[in-house]
Chains A and B, each alone.
Chain A
Amino acid sequence: MSCCAPGAEMALEVANAASASPSSDEIKLASRSLGGDIHQTELSVPTVHCGACIQAIEAALGKVENVESARVNLSTKRVSIRWHGDDVPPFFAVLGRLGYQAHLFDPEIHEKDKTLSELIRAVAVAGFAAGNIMLLSVSVWSGAEGATRDLFHWLSALIAIPALAFAGGIYFRSAANALRHGRMNMDVPIAVGVSLAYAMSLYETINHGEHAYFDASVSLLFFLLIGRTLDHVMRERARTAVNGLSRLAARGSVVLRDDGTREYVPVAELTPGMRLLIAAGERIPVDGDITSGNSDLDCSIVSGESEPKAVSAGTHVQAGTLNLTGPLTMRATAAAKDSFLAEMVRLMEAAEGGRSHYRRIADRVSALYAPVVHLAAFVTFLGWMVESGDWHRALTIAIAVLIITCPCALGLAVPIVQVVAARRLFEAGVMVKDGSAMERLAAIDTAVFDKTGTLTLGQPRLVNASEIDPTMLAMAADMAAHSRHPFSRAITAYAGFAGEPKLDSVREEPGFGIEATAGDDIWRLGRRGWAGWKARTGGEGRIGGYGGTVLSKNGSIVACFAFEDAPRSDAKATIRQMKEAGVSVDMLSGDTEKACGDVADALEIENFVPALLPSGKVEWIESLTRAGHNVLMVGDGLNDTPALRAAHVSIAPASAADIGRKAADFVFLRESLLAVPLAMEISRKAGRLIRQNIAIAIVYNAFAVPIAILGHVTPLIAAIAMSASSLIVIANAMRLQATVKAMPEATPTRRRSDVVGVAHP
């Protein structure tokens, strides 16, 4: 793939390592039938970035047999494919050849965003009504008298009815709901103010009065709806993108029945005692015991251990681990709902309590704001009643107070800043779940990092390549190209030696290594004890740690390979930046003390705790929280998920386990860990702007409310003041765009030249 963000591709390469194409049974299970024999399958393709990608994918899929149509949605990074016939067309292979990693999209999540379209419709209706009423009001203000004024007022009243009923309904429902449960929210003063203003204006109109507030009540709704829509768009956009990434749990498994038949069964219907066939590259669907077969399992996502674990008959395996090298037969010992995966979900839900009492700044302000506004309006009414005895005048002024204190600026202040900040983060490859996450991130003073997959890539890298004879290295790379074991992939990176060695036959011995014949020689690449059958083995050899992988020729060891989990690029710079920002950094891991110590030394982390269970991480975070710290958790594994939930705020890389991404507040798509300090910096700036905006709204009210209470507010002044306060708040939020641009530029998400370059091959 020639186009788009290199960073995102790297991140997804990592994800590739942990997922394989689903079987056709699995695709069928996830497809929707459209009647006849036409099916629709939704795929999530996170690397789609530009016009060239759209064209390449649609053209390639369109040519596949049995595919009726393929349509790319760039905003949600999804492809929907309509196909017919009984056999599933090879979408994944086609996309894979183009260089796109695709994932099945869960049909349960696939629901159209009804709230958003309702909000947009409401904004459109309110905008239409506000524009027209304003037009009529301007004529009244500029001197329409008598019958003309009455006509204009009546027209305004008519136009306002559908706007209030349709657009205002969102606020009325929410306010009614809040009141029914004995709570107060910002929608209550809005609903009261708008409906009182309308009723009062109608009374005025009937009695040929001079002033009507139709314009104020409708444009109030219009501005507030804009704020609410922005808020919603931001949350929803990030959520769909996060949901769209790959799923961790297997959807089902091939069950071997007693009569020898094989059947694909959805994961929910698996029961203990069933015999399951797990091919290489599939995930273990439920906990169980291996009955036959040898293989390596990638457990990094479950336990945090970076080295693949060899398994054979009798080993107990956990749901969610990935079978790497050989086919296995296993006996399920737990149903899906009792598996390790389900246990993690329960731990996560239990840990969630700590965060649920966080209240967004806007909510906290409005909790104070709403009673004050109502009290002010009520006192004004009483005061004017005592003063003048004219209930009509008193009520008019009280309504003016309600309207001029409208939380318009307040309603816009928070979402507009958050939308601008989320946009900046999105461009830098960081997705935000919701606005409160940014507020929480701005307040942290302690950061806790997981090791495997977060500080490191969770992918082994060959560290002693320079010490190995290049001929042997090329030989090993050629052999390794035939295997999908993580170590093999690390060695394959060194392929391409000029003097191409010729291999006659290659076969993989699951759990041990690869054997190849070249001429009369037998070469083996794999475990020391197996490959070097003539050499004296035992011990880890000169190179410790992950040593134990060797290349042998006719039984004599000719090369040793040492592997190390490569730290993410910029991990060290990230830690330094975090410390400079006044945040203390800890590392927690389920991995061994030695592996942790190496990484901690390399990255200059003083505090680390090795060999922790998932619950241990949660306890560690809880004790920090009790000590009064606001903790940021950065982690990716399934074992980090409860900790992600327990922390004040959490960040996960895109390569994280699916449930980990769901638990996290932020997800970063690029390989670089610098996304963490960047997200923190933007959040802190956004926090400052939000507080400024709230201050502006309060200052505005401090001036406007006394004037309104004294009865000097005409509809013209109210409208101008209201719009001006909103505009000031928006302008202030836009400053974030300017300040953040001064930061080191992230890789651009798309390059126009590539689009042209690919479109004209």
Chain B
Amino acid sequence: MTTLVYLIPVALFLGALGLSGFLWALRSGQYEDLDGAAERILIEPDDRPGDVLQSK
């Protein structure tokens, strides 16, 4: 029974943390271009393949 006194607030706090994280992401516009985000991971910041060899 006493463990509940800790566990319930901990559970609620973690849940609220997740919720506020989501709301923050929503407000900062991270869901505005979902298709773009999915494609952008395929874009290399510097896409000259030669650079990799030169840096060795």
Which chain A residues in 64-81 approach chain B with CB under 8 Å? 72-76
Are A73 and B33 within 8 A (Cβ)?
Answer: yes
Contact A155 B33, CB 8 Å, known A54-B39, A124-B23: no
Most-contacted residue by chain A among B27, B35, B40, B43 (CB, 10 A) = B35
Are A128 and B16 within 8 A (Cβ)?
Answer: yes
Which chain A residues in 265-303 approach chain B with CB under 8 Å? none
Are B15 and A128 within 8 A (Cβ)?
Answer: yes
Contacts of B47 in A (CB 8 A): 55, 759-760
Could you tell me the dominant secondary structure of chain B's interface residues? helix
Tell me if A148 counts as interface (CB < 8 A to partner B): yes
Which of A74, A120, A128 is close to B39, meaning CB atoms less than 8 Å apart?
A74
Are B43 and A124 within 8 A (Cβ)?
Answer: no
Are A55 and B19 within 8 A (Cβ)?
Answer: no
Are A759 and B26 within 8 A (Cβ)?
Answer: no
Contact A75 B36, CB 8 Å, known A117-B26, A159-B12: yes
Are B36 and A131 within 8 A (Cβ)?
Answer: no
Which of A73, A120, A755, A756 is close to B36, meaning CB atoms less than 8 Å apart?
A73
Tell me if A125 counts as interface (CB < 8 A to partner B): yes
Tell me if A724 counts as interface (CB < 8 A to partner B): no
Complex Cα gap A155–B9 (Å): 10
Complex Cα gap A699–B49 (Å): 62
Please, what's the 1-or-0 string for B22-56, where 1 marks a CB less than 8 Å from any CB in chain A?
11001100011111100110111001010000000
Are A131 and B15 within 8 A (Cβ)?
Answer: yes
Tell me if A717 counts as interface (CB < 8 A to partner B): no
Number of A-B contacts (CB under 8 A): 58
Tell me if A444 counts as interface (CB < 8 A to partner B): no
Which chain A residues in 351-379 approach chain B with CB under 8 Å? none
Could you tell me the dominant secondary structure of chain A's interface residues? helix
Name the residue of chain B whose CB is nearest to the CB of A53: B39
Tell me if A50 counts as interface (CB < 8 A to partner B): yes
Tell me if A132 counts as interface (CB < 8 A to partner B): yes
Contacts of A51 in B (CB 8 A): 39-40, 42-43
Are A75 and B35 within 8 A (Cβ)?
Answer: yes
Contact A75 B32, CB 8 Å, known A120-B26, A132-B15, A148-B1: yes
Complex Cα gap A73–B37 (Å): 9
Are B36 and A760 within 8 A (Cβ)?
Answer: no
Contact A759 B43, CB 8 Å, known A54-B36, A75-B35, A131-B15: yes
Which of B12, B32, B33 is close to A132, meaning CB atoms less than 8 Å apart?
B12
Interface size class of A (residues with CB under 8 A): 20 to 34
Which of A75, A124, A131 is close to B33, meaning CB atoms less than 8 Å apart?
A75
Are A124 and B11 within 8 A (Cβ)?
Answer: no
Please, what's the 1-or-0 string for A115-145, where 1 marks a CB less than 8 Å from any CB in chain B?
0010011001100100110010000000000
Are B36 and A72 within 8 A (Cβ)?
Answer: yes
Name the residue of chain A whose CB is nearest to the CB of B49: A760
Complex Cα gap A759–B39 (Å): 12
Are B33 and A76 within 8 A (Cβ)?
Answer: yes
Q: Smallest distance from the beta carbon of B25 to chain A beta carbons, Å?
A: 10
Which of B27, B33, B39 is close to A50, meaning CB atoms less than 8 Å apart?
B39
Most-contacted residue by chain B among A125, A128, A755 (CB, 10 A) = A128
Contacts of A132 in B (CB 8 A): 11-12, 15
Complex Cα gap A759–B33 (Å): 21
Q: Smallest distance from the beta carbon of A117 to chain B beta carbons, Å?
A: 6
Contacts of A148 in B (CB 8 A): 1, 4
Q: Smallest distance from the beta carbon of A56 to chain B beta carbons, Å?
A: 10
Contacts of A73 in B (CB 8 A): 32-33, 36
Q: Smallest distance from the beta carbon of A54 to chain B beta carbons, Å?
A: 6
Contacts of B16 in A (CB 8 A): 128
Are B43 and A55 within 8 A (Cβ)?
Answer: yes
Complex Cα gap A132–B19 (Å): 12
Complex Cα gap A759–B40 (Å): 11
Please, what's the 1-or-0 string for A144-171, where 1 marks a CB less than 8 Å from any CB in chain B?
0000100000010001000000000000
Contact A121 B39, CB 8 Å, known A75-B33, A76-B33, A128-B15: no
Contacts of B12 in A (CB 8 A): 132, 159
Contacts of A759 in B (CB 8 A): 42-44, 47
Are B26 and A121 within 8 A (Cβ)?
Answer: yes
Complex Cα gap A759–B44 (Å): 8
Are A74 and B36 within 8 A (Cβ)?
Answer: yes
Contact A755 B11, CB 8 Å, known A72-B36, A124-B23: no
Are A128 and B19 within 8 A (Cβ)?
Answer: yes
Contact A74 B15, CB 8 Å, known A55-B43, A121-B23, A759-B42: no
Task: List residues of chain B with CB under 8 Å of any chain A CB.
Answer: 1, 4, 8, 11-12, 15-16, 18-19, 22-23, 26-27, 31-36, 39-40, 42-44, 47, 49
- Pairs A-B, 6 closest by C-beta atoms: A74-B36, A51-B39, A74-B35, A51-B42, A73-B33, A128-B19
| 7 A-B pairs whose Cβ atoms sit less than 8 Å apart in the complex | A73-B33, A73-B36, A75-B36, A121-B23, A125-B19, A131-B15, A759-B42
Q: Given contact pairs A54-B39, A74-B35, enumerate 14 new A-B contacts (beta carbons under 8 Å).
A: A50-B39, A51-B40, A51-B42, A55-B47, A72-B36, A75-B32, A128-B15, A131-B15, A132-B11, A148-B4, A755-B42, A756-B42, A759-B43, A759-B47
